[in-house]
Amino acid sequence: MARIAGVDLPRTKRIDIALTYIYGIGRHSASKMVDDLNIDPAKKSQDLDESEISRLRETINQDYKVEGDLRREVELNVKRLMDINSYRGLRHRRQLPARGQRTSTNARTRKGKAKTISVGRKAKEAARKGG
Task: Give the predicted TM-score (pTM) of the model.
Answer: 0.74
Residues 58 and 82 in one domain: no
Residues 80 and 47 in one domain: no
Residues 130 and 79 in one domain: yes
- What residue numbers bound the domain in which 81 lies? 67-131
pLDDT, tens digit (0-9, with 9 covering 90-100), for 96-130: 999 888 888 888 888 888 776 666 676 667 777 76
Q: What is the pLDDT of residue 117?
A: 63
Query: Cα(131)–Cα(127) distance, rounded to whole angstroms?
Result: 5
Residues 45 and 82 in one domain: no
| CATH code of the domain covering residue 123 | 4.10.910.10
